[in-house]
Structures are given as C-alpha cells and as structure tokens.
C-alpha cells in the first residue's frame, strides 16, 4: 500500500494530508491515555496502524528517492515542513503517554503476580523453626514465570 501520485505536487498534497490525519489520530490517542481512558482508543487502532505504516513507507520512499518531490513550490514545501514538525511533536508526546501506560500496566501485572505467588507460598516444615518458602512471581496463567 503506497500513495499513487501523478506528480510531485500531488504526492506532496497526499503526504500532507496523511501527516495531518496521522497527527490527529495520535493526538486523540494521547488525550485518551492521559485521561486514563485507553478503552477509547480501541475503535481507531486499525486506522492508526494503517496510517502509520503508510507514513513509514512513504517517508522511506522519499528518503531513497528525493526526486519524487522535486519542483515543489515554496508554499507547499513550507506546509509540508510545518505539518511534519507538528507531527513530530505530537509523536513525542504520544510516545511518552504510551510508555507511561505500559509502565503502569506492567506494574499492576507484577503486583498481581507477586500476590498470587505469596498466596501460594508453601510451608517448609512444622514446629518452632517453621517458615514459608516464597517462590518468584509467576504469570497469571500459572504455567510460566513472570
């Protein structure tokens, strides 16, 4: 899946539109994550994935062949530059929000796994010197270690 452009201006307009739409998607996802509402992202995940893949492919294509945008007017170049700079800022903020959500989720899962392990602690012996043996945390499905 790549862009189908007739000339450099057409390609630039398509890339501009793609960059703006992907920026809108990431901004929406960032707001949802910052509001602690990751469930709001679910409906648009596929669109974001497709836009991200297309953006990645097109930027790699332009890097390999810069002549695809040769002959652009200053106005269109400026619009592309501005859209790209805005997108990069949005992408940075999105990355921070995703990393924070990942860290919280991993912390919750680690706490649950530790709790499960502690509840399954086995007594090593009976009597005055008896103690419990705590195992390392296990996964929630109890068939693999966490």
- Rounded Cα distance between 91 and 23, Å, is 7
Q: At 135, is the pLDDT very low, low, confident or very high (cuts 50, 70, 90)?
A: low
Tens-place pLDDT, residues 76-91: 999 999 999 999 999 9
Q: How big is the CA angle at 12 (ends 9 and 17), to the nearest 5 degrees? A: 125
- Residue 43 CB neighbours (<10 A): 8
Q: Which domains does the chain have, with CATH numbers?
A: 8-122 (1.20.58)
Average pLDDT, the chain: 85
| Confidence (pLDDT) at 99 | 95
Tens-place pLDDT, residues 83-131: 999 999 999 999 999 999 999 989 998 888 887 777 666 655 666 766 6
CB burial class (10 A; 0-12, 13-18, 19+) of residue 23? buried
Q: At 31, is the pLDDT very low, low, confident or very high (cuts 50, 70, 90)?
A: very high
- Rounded Cα distance between 11 and 27, Å, is 24
> Distance from CA of residue 36 to its chain's centroid?
15
pTM of the model: 0.75
- Rounded Cα distance between 68 and 51, Å, is 20
What number is the average pLDDT over the span 54-66? 93
């Amino acid at each position: 899946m790549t862009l189908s452009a007739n000339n450099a201006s057409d390609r630039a307009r398509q890339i501009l539109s793609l960059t703006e739409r992907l920026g809108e998607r990431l901004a929406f996802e960032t707001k949802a994550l910052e509001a602690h509402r990751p469930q709001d992202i679910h409906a648009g995940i596929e669109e974001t994935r497709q836009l991200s893949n297309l953006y990645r492919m097109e930027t790699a294509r332009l890097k390999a062949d810069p002549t695809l945008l040769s002959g652009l007017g200053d106005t269109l170049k400026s619009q592309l530059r501005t859209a790209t700079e805005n997108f990069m800022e949005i992408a940075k903020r999105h990355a921070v929000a995703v990393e924070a959500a990942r860290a919280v989720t991993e912390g919750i899962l680690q706490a649950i796994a530790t709790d499960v392990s502690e509840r399954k602690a086995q007594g090593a012996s009976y009597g005055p010197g008896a103690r419990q043996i705590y195992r390392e945390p296990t996964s929630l499905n109890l068939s693999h270690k966490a």
